[in-house]
Amino acid sequence: MDAISRIRDVRPDGGLRFPVLPVADLAGTSFKHEHLNAILAESSLTGFFEVHAENYMGAGGPPRQALERIRRDHPVSLHGVCMSIGGPQPLDPVHLARFRALVERYEPALVSEHLAWSTHETTYFNDLLPLPYTPATLAHVCEHIDEVQNTIGRRILIENPSTYVAFASSTMSETDFIRAIACRTGCGLLLDVNNVFVSATNHGYAALDYLSDFPLADVGEIHLAGHAEQRDDEGKRLLIDSHDAPVADAVWKLYEIVISRCGPIPTLIEWDSKIPAWPVLRVEAAAAQAILDRFTSVRAVDGRHAA
Amino acid sequence: MLLDDLMEEKLQPSFAEDFARGLLNPARAIPVDVVGPGEKAPIKRYNVYRNNVTVSLIDALAATFPAVQRITGVEFFRAMARFHIRATPPRSPLLFEYGRDFPAFIEGYEHAQDMPWLADTARIERAWLDSYHAADALPLSPDALAAVPSDRLGDLIFTAHPAARIVRSAYPAVAIFAMNRVESPMTALRSSAAEDALITRPDMEVAVRLLPPGGAAFLKTLIDGGTLSAAADIAFSETSSFDLPANIAGMIEAAVFSNMHLGDWR
C-alpha cells in the first residue's frame, strides 16, 4: 500500500476506515460469534450481517474484535435493541453516546431501532414493550427519534413491533402512527414481516391489510424470523416473536408479496435463540436472496427507497 | 405540546409506569388500559411480557454464571435467579454488566448455605465476563524487565491490564470453577484448601489461573500501584515460601500488566 492510500485509510481518531460496502439488493443474517470461523471459511459470501448494538458496547475484547473482522469483508447492520425510544422518559444520554460511538467505529450500512420501550425509571426490562398510539406518545417517539438521528448524524430505520396486547387509550392505528413518525422525523422504516404476521394473528386482523396501509416506500430493511405458538385466554392461537426457528411459510409468502411490489430491499434472517449451525442460517438467507433476485426489475414507482 | 397535555402528564402515571409495575410482580393486577382485541381478555397476553422479562433475565444470569448453574442444577439455579431478579433487576441495558450483586445474593441465599464456595465460584465467573469485555491493551513484553538495572527493579510500578482481575477465596473456588465451567464429567475434588484466582486475557482469550501462595497479595499490591519491593514484602510476610522470580515470570506470561515505570525518580 502506498503512502497516500494509507493516509486516506486512517481517520483523524487513528482508527482504520472500513471499506464502503453497499447492502442494496442483499440478504443477510444475524451475526453470532459461534459462526465466526464458519463464516471466515466461506469463499464467496455476499450477504450482510446484523448485530445487536448492545453486545458491542463493552470497552474491547473478543466481541469487538470479531465484529471488526466481519466488518472488513461484509456490510454490517447495527440494530439497537434497548434505546427505549417508545417510552415517555428522556433517552439515556450515556446509552445514546455509546450508540453513537459504535456507529462511528464500525461505519454500518444500516442503523435501526425499535418502536418499543424497555426501560422505566432505572429498571431495564430486557423486552420490547408496547405503547399506546396517541398524539402524546407520538410526540415523545418523534422527539426521541430526532434526538437519535441528530446525535449519530444519520437516518435510522424504526422497526414495527410484534405485540400481544393493545391499549384502550390508543386513538391511532399502528400503521398511521408509523407513517406519522416517518413523515415527521424523516426516519426510514424496518419492516419486520414476521412481526406483522404475529401481530395480525394476535389481534385478529389481516396481515395483507396491514401491509397495504404500511408506508412501504420508506422501508430500508426487512426482517424475517421464526415464531412460536401459545394459547390466549380464550384458547385461541397466540403467536410469540421468538426468533428461534425457521421463517414460517406464511411469512415467506407475505415477504414475496412485498418484494414483488417494492423491488429488492435488504433482508435479514433474524435468529437469536436456539441458534442453528451456520449452514442452516445461510440456506435461509439464500432463500431470501432468491426472492430478491427474482424481482430486481421491480423498483418502487417513485424511485424512493430508504437506506 | 400544549400546556394542558403537560399538566395531565404530570398528574397521571404514564402508560409505562402502569405497564411496568406488574412486570416483575405477578401478584399485581393487569393495568386497566391493557386490553385484548374485541372482547378478548388480556391476562395471558400481558403474562407473555411478564414471562419474557423474567425468563430472559434468568437466561442472562445463566449465561454469565454457567458453572454455578451446573453445580446447583437448572431448577435450583432458576429459582434462585428469579428471587434475585425481582429484588435486583438490571439498571443498565447492557446485560453483560448485570449480575454484579448476584455473588453476594448467593452468599445470603437461604437454600445455598450448605454450598459456602458457591458465591466465590460466582465471583470468578463475574470476573471472567468483566475480563472478556475489558478494553484492549498490549501486555507488557517479556523483555521489558530485562532492560531495567537490577538495583532499580524494586522501584518498578506497574499498570494493570484492563482485563486483569483477582478473586481470593477461602475455598477451592478455582478448582470448582474449572471443573464446572466445561461439560466434561466431574471428578472428586482433591483439596479443600483456599484458592486465589487470577483472571486475565492473554491473546484475546480469557484465562483463569490458580495463584501460588502469596501470589494474590503480591499482584493486588502491584495492581493498586505499589512498588515491586513493597509487593514482594507483603507477599513474603503472608507466605515465607513466596517464590518471587516464579511469580514475576507468571505475571508476565499471564498478561497481568500492560505497562510499567520506575517510581522514586527524584
ipTM of the complex: 0.92
Give how far Cα A178 sits from Cα of A171, A204, B15, B85, Å.
Answer: 13, 19, 19, 34
pLDDT at B142: 87
- The verdict on B156 and B240 lying in the same domain is yes
Q: Tell me the count of A-B CB pairs closer than 8 A.
A: 151
Location of C-alpha cell 400503521: A175
Q: What is the DSSP string of chain A?
A: --HHHHHHTB-TTSPBPPP----TT-EEEE--GGGHHHHHT-SS---EEEEEGGGG-SSSSHHHHHHHHHHHHS-EEEE-S---TTSSSPP-HHHHHHHHHHHHHH--SEEEEESSEEEETTEEEEEEE----SHHHHHHHHHHHHHHHHHHTS--EEEPPP-S-EETT--S-HHHHHHHHHHHH--EEEEEHHHHHHHHHHHT--HHHHHHHS-GGGEEEEEEE--EEEE-TTS-EEEE----SPPPHHHHHHHHHHHHHH----EEEE--SS---HHHHHHHHHHHHHHHHHTTT---TT-----
Same domain as B84, residue B47: yes
Residues of chain A with confidence (pLDDT) below 50: 1-8, 302-303, 306-307
B78 with B144, same domain? no
Are the C-beta atoms of residues A41 and A306 closer than 8 Å to each other?
no
Closest chain A residue to B9, measured at CA: A136
B74: Cβ–Cβ under 8 A, 6 or more apart, which residues?
none
Region B86-103: mean pLDDT is 97
Architecture of domain A20-294: Alpha-Beta Barrel (3.20)
Average pLDDT, chain B: 93
Strands A110-114, A76-79: pairing is parallel
DSSP three-state, residue B108:
helix
Which amino acid belongs to residue A84?
S
Domain residue spans of chain A? 20-294
Contacts of B146 (CB under 8 A, 6+ apart): none
Q: Does B86 touch chain A (CB under 8 A)?
A: no
Q: What is the mean pLDDT of residues B239-258?
A: 96
Using alpha carbons, select from B8, B49, B46 the residue that is nearest to residue A135: B8
Q: Which domain holds residue B221?
A: 135-266
For B24, which DSSP code? T
Calculate mean pLDDT across residues B77-82. 98
Contact B201 A168 (CB under 8 A): no
Same domain, B105 and B144: no
* Residue A112: closest CA among A160, A178, A181, A159: A159
Q: What distance separates the 2 farthest-apart alpha carbons in chain A?
A: 70
Confidence of residue B263 (pLDDT cuts 50, 70, 90): confident
User: Among all residues of chain A, which has the CA nearest to that of B130?
Assistant: A58
Q: Determine which of B12, B35, B40, B86 to mutate to test the interface with A (most A C-beta atoms within 10 Å).
A: B40
| pLDDT at position B220 | 98
In a domain, B182, yes or no: yes
Write down the pTM of the prediction.
Answer: 0.93
Give the number of residues written for chain A: 307
pLDDT reading at B249 higher than 50? yes
Closest by Cβ to B20, choosing from A61, A123, A164: A123
Does B266 share its domain with B212?
Answer: yes
> Could you tell me if B69 and B151 lie in one domain?
no
**Residues 6+ away with beta carbon under 8 Å from A28:** A47, A48, A49, A50, A75, A77, A266, A267, A268, A269, A285
| Minimal Cβ distance to A132: which of B15, B49, B163 | B15
> Do residues B111 and B73 share a domain?
yes
**Residue B133 touches chain A, beta carbons under 8 Å:** yes
Are the beta carbons of A292 and A267 closer than 8 angstroms?
Answer: yes
Asked if the structure places residue B130 within a domain, the reply is no
Q: Judge whether B3 lies within some domain.
A: no
CB spacing of A126 vs B9 below 8 angstroms? no
Beta bridge partners of B41: none
Residue B149 DSSP SS3: coil
CATH number at residue B231: 3.90.930
What's residue A9's pLDDT?
57
Best residue in B24, B32, B44 to probe A by mutation, most A CBs within 10 Å?
Answer: B44
Q: What is the pLDDT of residue A13?
A: 58
> If you measure CA to CA, which chain B residue comes closest to A53?
B94
What is the average per-residue pLDDT within B205-230? 97
Lowest mean pLDDT among A6-15, B148-157, B176-185, B193-202: A6-15
**Same domain membership, residue B263 and residue B154:** yes
User: Which of B:29-58 have CB within 8 Å of A?
Assistant: 32-38, 40-46, 48-49, 52-53, 56-57
Task: Indicate the helix (H) or strand (E) that contains B35.
Answer: strand B34-35
B16 with A89: Cβ contact below 8 A: yes
| Three-state DSSP state, B42 | coil
Q: What is the mean pLDDT of residues B22-49?
A: 95
Contact: A124, B93; criterion CB under 8 Å:
yes
Instruction: Please answer yes or no on whether B95 and A165 come within 8 Å at the CB atom.
Output: no
Q: How confident is the model at residue B31, as a pLDDT?
A: 96
Answer whether residue B34 is part of any domain: yes
> Residue A129: its chain B contacts at CB < 8 A?
16, 19-20, 49
Taking alpha carbons only, the member of A77, A51, A75 closest to residue A64 is A51
Domain count, chain B: 2
CB contacts of A139 in chain B (<8 Å) are 1
Are residues B132 and A139, on separate chains, in Cβ contact within 8 Å?
no
Alpha helix segments (H runs only) across B111-227: 118-133, 173-180, 215-223
Q: Identify whether B122 is part of a domain.
A: no
- Tell me how far apart the alpha carbons of residues A78 and B101 are, in angstroms, rounded to a whole number: 30
For chain A, say whether B11 makes contact (Cβ under 8 Å): no
**What 3-state DSSP class applies to B247?**
helix
pLDDT the model gives residue A43: 83
What whole-number distance in Å separates Cα of residue A126 and Cα of residue A120? Answer: 11
Question: In the listed set B115, B150, B165, which residue is the last one of a domain according to the structure?
Answer: B115
On whether both B151 and B263 belong to a single domain, the answer is yes
Of the candidates A54, A62, A238, which has its C-beta nearest B93's C-beta? A54
Shared-domain flag, residues B98 and B27: yes
Looking at CA atoms only, how far is residue B111 from chain A in angstroms?
A: 26
